[in-house]
Structure 1
Amino acid sequence: LYGRPCYLTPAAVGQMAIKKRSKVPGVMVTQFVEIVPIGKTTPDFTRKPMPLTIQQGKKAVFKAMVSGMPAPTVTWTRNKCEMNDPEKYKIKLDQRSKEYILEIPDVQPEQSDTYKCTVTNVFGEAISTAILNIIPGKTQSYSAYAGYDQGPNDFRSMLKKTKKQLPPPKEGEIDPKLLELLLCAPKKDYEKICFDFGVTDFRWMLKRLKQLKKEREEEQAKVLCNVKQIEVKPNGKAEFSVDMKLWDPNSAINLYKDGVLIPYSDDENAKHCLKRDGTKYVFSIKDLKPEDAGFYQLDVEDANVLTTDFKVPAVEFEAQLKDVKAVESEDAVFQCVLSTPLNRITWSSEKGSLDNEDKYEITVSEDMLTHTLKVKNCDLKDTGAYYAIAGITSSKASLTVEVYARDPMSKFKEKVTVKIPEPVSLDLQCPPSIIVPLKMRTAPRGYECCMSCAVKGNPTPRVTWYRNNLSLNTNPNYHITNVCGVCSLLILRVGAKDCGEYKVVLENKLGVVESSMTLSVRGIVMRFLFLTSFDSVIFSIQI
């Protein structure tokens, strides 16, 4: 039996139980065998069920994704009692997403408990627990919005509704609110959000954030077919906009503030308004007050789409923005001073919010009281109103860009005399010279051979080629060219008669210059006859 795996049943775990580290924090994995065969694995979670806080009467859903070879068995249990009632506890498998789901349709306070998901195969088991907290439900009308013109059929939408609250942060753990904000924020805002929560080193959170983003995208994919990055655009109101196309146009869209459902209307004069333009949904809050600050969440059915923390700091403008006039192509600078230090405020124009980019430069003083906006290289299209928004207060100023008439003759107020120097003739003539001379060559018999040299001279010199002091310019067996100062002689098929000294001579009215070389041909057979008193002998030597 040495070297063979020893298979144990779960009942024999007491005899052998090897604890392993799971890929997911908080999961306990136990291995039943000493050696797992190649191609087989112990079960584990790729996504564990998360703790829930649900209002009484609502639906609680635990989801888990598992791995293992062979495919493991998944069971759900709870600590206090059994789960035998199929009406209260619905266990199913989503074939599309491969999620194992436990649904509790109508949660009651007695169902508040620790729920355990156990994943088992022949090689081991993995266990993960999740706590379900139940909030006793109360039906209270949202009296602050009793002025809405709604009939009896809309009474249900006026009831105060809560969604699951984010658990309070535990010591040494990440604040759940911080993670929710990072999920919906662009990467350029990560540092600012972490700074607001007192976190200076957020690199260690990126792995956890990536996992949460994947889980959120899987939830959104069930109700949405397009989710784009959300922006907060201050324009006198607080606005939260999202561009999305719903798979089901009748999907419920809910807006929560600190976990409490907020009723809204499509009337722009309402306190909370939802306007839809094609696939774009814009939620706005009118008449902003300090009590409007809070943690806002936008849900489509059970999928969270938007999470943002709207803060209203107690701040005023000690120095308001002032109107600026600038000349075209110059820079314009707006500056304001706050009563309370803020590391960032919102700058906006009539077209929308402004970011620190090529056109605009946003800076903050060291005491975080003085905030500056520089509009670079102004032109006519930059004319208009600019806003500095801090909390729910704002300051406004205008930019005027002046363009002077460009009269081409306006520069010449006085008569200007320009002295033009007399032209000087240049003599560029030079005698012929050789820049790159000919070089000795050895060519194989029957192949082509090219000899060339680089020359210069003005006037252009006359070029003559010689072999053994005999002119080759008129010999049809040689191809002679002179292009761009490069003189070449080409022998198409080298033979024994081509051996010898080659010379090129350059001549113009200012002088004469020459360059020479020797061409050797390989493959020539030379025969020698030796006579003796007995017979004659012929030796052949190939060179």
Structure 2
Amino acid sequence: MATKVLQSSGGMQMTSSTSTTTTITTTKLKKVSQSSKVVEEKTEQRKSSMTMESFHLVTKSFEIPPGECVPMFDEKPKAVTVPEGEPKVSFKARVSGNPTPAVTWSRESGKPIKESAKTFFDSSNKQYVLKLKAITADDADNYKCTASNNHADAIYTFSLVVGGSAQMDFKKMLKKRSVPAPKTEKRPITEEEMLKILSGADKKDYERICAEHGFTDFRGILKKLKEMKKKVDVEMVKVLKPLEDIEAKVDTTVIFDTILELRDPNTRLMWFKENEMLRIQYSLGKYEMKQMGTKFMLYVTGVTLRDSGIYRLEVGDKTLTAKLNVIDEPLKFLTELKPLRVTERQTAVFEVRLSKKTDLPVLWKVKGKELKRDEKFDVSVSEDGLTYTMKIKDVRHSDIGDYSLCIGDMVASTQLFIDRIPIKFVSNLKNTRVKEKGKARMECELSSKDVFIKWLKDGKDVTHNPRYTFLREGKRAEIIIEDCDLADSGEYAIVAMQESDAHEYVSSANLTVDGRL
């Protein structure tokens, strides 16, 4: 590493260096009252002529893993000017970075910080603090706050200017006086040195600084300064990974990403679509910028055909472009309506999923007729607009049939089958005994009234035999035999049946007719 020191007329040193590391530097200078004396051809600052603040970033890593970043100052220590004898001065800094940076304090002159000074971390305010007590002229210096992690050293330099004490009496002033140093003739600075001085100053101070150093060709020096800054700007942005073209489906989210090495972390990034700059903060979530270390990303959510085109990122003097091609796949059923079998009185659910959202009218049909929503039928659509559902509550035998979903020219159809609830006898036929010429009654109660029944005597169907009287009332069934004779004795049975159920449900009992003596 090669280093050379430039001496400005204000007593401030400026350093230029070359190194394999990347360094970002910003400097602020503020002029105050000045008094210097020259001893052995070295400028010794008695009352600092400038308050100074500068920032340096020295990177260690060529590539930073996702989720990690270099140290940065969220709150910077402030340069201050205090009179000699000030009871205390505090400098505070707040830093961030991943891994968490370690913070140290030092003096630019190389002198150790006075033993009475305190350095600590204020956990309540999340601040690192340097506190100096009983300020003397020896405390005047440029101080450094260094935040370090594996990826970089962030160094913020600031000045402590110590002025004369307001309480100083005449004797103390005599003691502090020193023998005037012999005057030395100042060496005119070179144009190269002048350019470096101006590069660290504010534009409004250019003319004054040129006049102080005897540079009369103000326009010429500004032109060369501009050319020099252009050369520096070329190196301010290094592209480690360019943007890449993307092909995506409608309603998906795409991510444009690039890896950049920025010498100035405050460099502005601007995203464009075609020739229009994206107003990300007003996009209602359509666009979002994110950064993970040196990786910079643009999210585009819910893409449509209108989002296709050329996207451009401008950063410094670099322009990166990539193309987004949005594919509109044809609408289709991702799942088919499947035949459904449920038990009577339960809820049947039909469901189908589409390949994409649609604005086409959606129509459910039952047995070829348009379905009307009511307490029995309930239709719904999922939050993502892709899944359509129909529910049939308390299904009955009458609900058996064809069901279909119509979307534009597309139709998905299926059938509903119902398993009947088995018939049960709440009360069975009972054995009965009557006397000849008497009247016999045999009855039972079933679990449902929606059944078909037939009566048997000794295995033969007597349902339509006029010899017998049959009664039905709700779930109850009864057989009556008038004027019984001995031939009416035998086994009587009731057989219950229902639609879509091949099973026969039987209850039987014996009738005994006793002859007269």
The answer to which structure, 1 or 2, has the higher relative contact order (CA under 8 A, 6+ apart) is: 2
TM-score over 0.5 (shorter chain): no
Q: Pick the TM interval, shorter chain.
A: under 0.3
Larger relative strand fraction? 2
Tell me the TM-score normalised to structure 2 length. 0.25
